[in-house]
Amino acid sequence: MPLGGRPWQHGVEPPGARGFACGTEPVDARADPHGTHPYDARPSAGGTEPPGTRPTPHGIESVETRRDGSGAESRGRRVGSRRGGVRVIGRTLGELGLGEAPRDHPLDYPGVWPADSGLLDGDRLLPLERLVHDDGRVPVLAVGSNASPAQLQHKMAEFDVSGPIPMVRARVTGLDVGVSAHVSRLGYVSASPVASPSSVRELFVLWLDGRQLEVIDASEGVPLPNGNFGRAWLPAPDVRVTLADGTALPGVHAYVNRHGVLHDGTGAPRRHPGERALLTELLAESAELRELFGVTPEQFCARARAESALCRRGTRLFAERKWAVASGLEQYVRAQQTGSPGSGSSSVPPLM
């Protein structure tokens, strides 16, 4: 039977994922027991600044806000020093509620995202002095767990790659967040971008240097001819990426699933509602999936993580039952080397 997914309702705003709406301030992003995720944050109002930021001579400086049990606001503890005349303020990922990676907690996929732009530096999230970092870095759009600071930290640490990563919140027009038509051996069914001319999403742009790009490429399977994702260049105006200061990027890299994306039962790409909700829906709709992965999201994750062959069987099932459709972005994926463009092939082994 075809998968008839229920899309995440428009206008519903999950906790800890407030958009650029004028007059709001972010609360610390905390995951709830049911996998609170950041999809479908409200789009920004034209000309407004992201909540929780203020102008500085060098760009924006994060202002952290907490709410206590009574709803009153208080400023978070600030640590750091001055860099270039701007006070560097940062808190650990754990203090910010950003410390758990979906690789370790698959039902929390795509993980908790920052409320605003920031500089990921080790275990701290620092303020950004500028939003564009095109001096030796390339922009990579994150639609899933790559926007989770803990997931990025996990990936970089695995290959002993260090260095700060600018994470810039952006309004993206022409693209939506679909469901990859493959089962990851990390225990989840991941997100993948889909072409959607009328959609406007609040996502993150990562500015990666050459080595960082190699690591993310490897984690998505780009170096392998049968890897799960290919890296595409999405040019403007096909996909429009606008930063909080009004800067429009000429394009961004993005990871497009080579298996396609799951459809919603009508042939249209299904939207990713967060992992627990997604697995609950998929298992309810397919006896064959229940036979392979069990009847609960917890069983699905545990079995997928325990047996990579089972993940491959699940991926084949999506294809054999014709539950997968094209994302509409395949045309942008070209045969390419991995890592920094022009630097040759990546030698980093894949982890998918």
Which amino acid, residue 232?
A
What pLDDT, on a 0 to 100 scale, did the predictor assign at position 335?
A: 58
The tokens for 344 are 């040759």
Nearest by Cα to 76 from 60, 55, 91: 91
| 15 domain-assigned | no
Residue 301 and residue 347: Cα distance in Å, rounded? 29
Mean pLDDT for 126-139 is 94
- Given a cut of 50, whether residue 46 has pLDDT beyond it is no
Least Cα distance to 49 among 39, 37, 63 occurs for: 63
Query: With bands split at pLDDT 50, 70 and 90, how would you rate the model's confidence at 173?
Result: very high
The predicted structure's pLDDT at residue 334? 77
Higher pLDDT, 280 or 28: 280
Q: For residue 255, what is the domain's CATH number?
A: 3.10.490.10
What pLDDT does residue 39 have?
60
Whether pLDDT at 123 is above 60: yes
- Which of the pair, 16 or 150, is modelled with greater confidence? 150
Residues 6+ apart with CB under 8 A from 220: 227, 228, 229, 231, 255, 350, 352
Q: Is the pLDDT at 9 greater than 60, yes or no?
A: no
In a domain, 307, yes or no: yes
pLDDT at 121 over 50: yes
Q: Does 250 map to a domain?
A: yes
Q: Is residue 256 part of a domain?
A: yes
Q: Is the model's pLDDT at 269 over the cut of 80?
A: yes
What pLDDT sits at residue 14?
33
20 inside domain: no
The whole-number pLDDT of residue 89 equals: 52
pLDDT at 350 over 80: no
Domain of residue 163: give its range.
53-332
> Is residue 116 within 8 Å of residue 54, measured between CB atoms?
no
Confirm whether 37 is domain-assigned.
no
Asked whether the beta carbons of 124 and 91 are under 8 A apart, the reply is: yes
Higher-confidence residue of 10 and 297: namely 297
Residue 138 lies in a domain: yes
What is the torsional sign of CA 115, 278, 105, 241?
negative
What's the total number of domains in the chain?
Answer: 1
- The yes-or-no verdict on residue 115 having pLDDT over 70 is yes
Residue 246 lies inside a defined structural domain of this protein: yes
Tell me the whole-structure pTM to 2 decimals: 0.75
**pLDDT score of 47:** 36
Contact 172, 241 (CB under 8 A): yes
